[in-house]
């Protein structure tokens, strides 16, 4: 499959990239790892007239501790995140993405800006209450994950804004687990569940649950969190809370799983993930 014709620029700074976006108009698109955008272009589901490649912009990759959490450059590849074990769940999740080629090209900024609910990192950012920092014509702003994902492949990042970095809270003191259900290890998740549990002396003092592919955006299983917070970290309490995992979700049916099967998966995977995280 061959994409429609397009122009290509490789700016050397964020300001140059913003200018190129402005000059390219509404059909200009940023290019990061290209592993979501290029397949869409090849299928002619996207036909940008200009690609603005962020690959030559210095300062957009890297992982560092900042303000008690982590600052991850937007152009940081999944593979680099997977190597930074201090990132905890986010590193573990990055390692489950597809295959080595995708992990070396795909970036966290691209994954979050693309806004695919089946992707692995959006649900993690949402449940951790992380944020993205964007730069646009009017300067910089920060978007909390709860305000980022609006609909299928739709985020609150404006067309003329660039994600420069991602802030991930450190989640110190939490045990974590990720349950991703797919047919082959490198496949997209049919359903994925990201969980943090703070088990203090046998009581769940805090808990976060993020769901992937259970709706048009990544979701937070707030009913599970509310049911388990303050309860004993027991098998019974976990099983009872996990039964609420599909509440309020509208998972899309697809070739691999019907909506009902996905709801069943969400409940089972949430119970497994909570059990592991509570024991970690
Ligand atoms: C075969 C295959 C399997 C895959 N499997 C998985 C999987 O199991 N799990 C998973 O999570 N992902 C999977 N992916 C997707 C992969 O992780 C993508 O690389 C990622 O979702 C997008 O990142 P990217 O850097 O490639 O972005 P690109 O494809 O370059 O861009 C994606 C979108 O984000 C925009 N964008 C990119 N960077 C920025 C920025 N800094 N600021 C604003 N907008 C930006 C682009 O304009 C575009 O609209 C798979 C991809 C392939 C090809």
Supply the pLDDT for residue 280: 85
Which residue shows structure tokens 């976060």?
Answer: 208
Residue 170 has pLDDT above 90, yes or no: yes
Could you tell me if the CB of 98 is within 6 A of ligand 1?
Answer: yes
SS3 for 272? Answer: helix
Could you tell me if the CB of 188 is within 6 A of ligand 1?
Answer: yes
| Helix segments in the chain, DSSP class H | 14-24, 37-42, 78-83, 89-95, 100-105, 108-114, 121-128, 222-228, 235-242, 259-279
pLDDT in tens, 67-84: 999 999 999 999 999 999
Supply the pLDDT for residue 1: 79
Supply the pLDDT for residue 180: 97
Residue nearest to atom 47 of ligand 1 (CA): 30
Could you tell me if the CB of 157 is within 6 A of ligand 1?
Answer: yes
Supply the pLDDT for residue 15: 97
Lookup: tokens for 17: 């990239």
Supply the pLDDT for residue 106: 98
From CA 40, how far away is CA 46, in angstroms rounded? 5
Of the pLDDT bands very low, low, confident and very high (cuts 50, 70, 90), residue 248 is very high
Q: Is 211 exposed, middle or buried (0-12, 13-18, 19+ CB in 10 A)?
A: buried
Supply the pLDDT for residue 91: 98
DSSP class per residue in 3-66: PPP-EEE--SSHHHHHHHHHHHGGGEEEESS-TTHHHHHHTTS---SEEEEGGG-TTS--EEEE
Of the pLDDT bands very low, low, confident and very high (cuts 50, 70, 90), residue 96 is very high
Atom of ligand 1 nearest to the CA of 187: 8
Query: Mean pLDDT throughout 18-24?
Result: 96
Ligand 1 center to 37 CA (angstroms): 7
Sheet holding 28-31, edge to edge: 7-9, 50-53, 28-31
Q: Within its chain, how far is the Cα of 275 from the centroid?
A: 23
Could you tell me if the CB of 79 is within 6 A of ligand 1?
Answer: no
Q: Is 8 exposed, middle or buried (0-12, 13-18, 19+ CB in 10 A)?
A: exposed
Could you tell me if the CB of 181 is within 6 A of ligand 1?
Answer: no
Ligand 1 center to 41 CA (angstroms): 13
Supply the pLDDT for residue 5: 95
Supply the pLDDT for residue 185: 86
Residue 154 has pLDDT above 90, yes or no: yes
Supply the pLDDT for residue 32: 98
Percent pLDDT > 70 in the chain is 100
Beta bridge mates, 177: 195
Residue nearest to atom 53 of ligand 1 (CA): 35
Q: Single out the residue of 191, 136, 173 nearest to residue 277, CA to CA.
A: 173
What are the phi and psi torsion angles at 143 (to 5°)?
-120, 120
Residue nearest to atom 10 of ligand 1 (CA): 119
Q: Is 136 exposed, middle or buried (0-12, 13-18, 19+ CB in 10 A)?
A: middle
Beta bridge mates, 219: 211
From CA 122, how far away is CA 149, in angstroms rounded? 8
Q: Is 179 exposed, middle or buried (0-12, 13-18, 19+ CB in 10 A)?
A: buried
Ligand 1 center to 241 CA (angstroms): 33
Q: Are strands 63-66 and 69-73 parallel, antiparallel or unpaired?
A: antiparallel
Residue nearest to atom 40 of ligand 1 (CA): 163
Could you tell me if the CB of 119 is within 6 A of ligand 1?
Answer: yes
Ligand 1 center to 123 CA (angstroms): 15
From CA 77, how far away is CA 188, in angstroms rounded? 17
Residue nearest to atom 4 of ligand 1 (CA): 98
From CA 200, how far away is CA 186, in angstroms rounded? 35
From CA 117, how far away is CA 40, in angstroms rounded? 16
Query: Mean pLDDT throughout 5-15?
Result: 97
Could you tell me if the CB of 213 is within 6 A of ligand 1?
Answer: no
Could you tell me if the CB of 24 is within 6 A of ligand 1?
Answer: no
pLDDT in tens, 42-65: 999 999 999 999 999 999 999 999
Query: Mean pLDDT throughout 190-209?
Result: 98
The torsion defined by the Cα of 256, 260, 262 and 268, in degrees rounded to 10, comes to: -130
Reported pTM: 0.97
């Amino acid at each position: 499959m061959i994409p429609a014709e397009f122009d290509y620029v490789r700016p050397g700074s964020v300001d140059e990239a913003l200018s190129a976006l402005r000059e390219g108009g509404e059909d200009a698109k940023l290019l990061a790892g290209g592993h979501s955008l290029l397949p869409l272009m090849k299928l002619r589901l996207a036909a940008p007239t200009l690609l603005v490649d962020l690959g030559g912009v210095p300062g957009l990759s890297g992982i560092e501790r900042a303000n008690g959490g982590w600052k991850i450059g937007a152009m940081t590849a999944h593979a680099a995140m997977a190597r930074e074990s201090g990132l905890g769940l986010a590193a573990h999740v990055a390692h489950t993405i597809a295959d080595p080629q995708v992990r070396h090209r795909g970036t966290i900024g691209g994954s979050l800006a693309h806004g695919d609910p089946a992707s692995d990192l959006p649900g993690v950012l949402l449940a951790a209450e992380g944020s993205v920092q964007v730069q646009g014509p009017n300067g910089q702003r920060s978007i909390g994950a709860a305000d980022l994902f609006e609909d299928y492949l739709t985020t609150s990042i404006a067309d003329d804004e660039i994600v420069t970095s991602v802030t991930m809270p450190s989640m110190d003191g939490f045990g974590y687990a990720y349950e991703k259900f797919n047919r082959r290890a490198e496949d997209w998740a049919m359903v994925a569940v990201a969980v943090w549990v703070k088990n203090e002396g046998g009581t769940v003092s805090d808990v976060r649950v993020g769901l992937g592919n259970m709706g048009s955006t990544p979701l937070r299983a707030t009913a599970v969190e509310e049911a388990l917070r303050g309860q004993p970290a027991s098998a019974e309490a976990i099983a009872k809370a996990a039964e609420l995992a599909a509440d309020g979700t509208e998972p899309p049916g697809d070739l691999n799983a019907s909506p009902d099967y996905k709801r069943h998966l969400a409940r089972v995977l949430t119970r497994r993930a909570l059990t592991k995280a509570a024991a970690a």
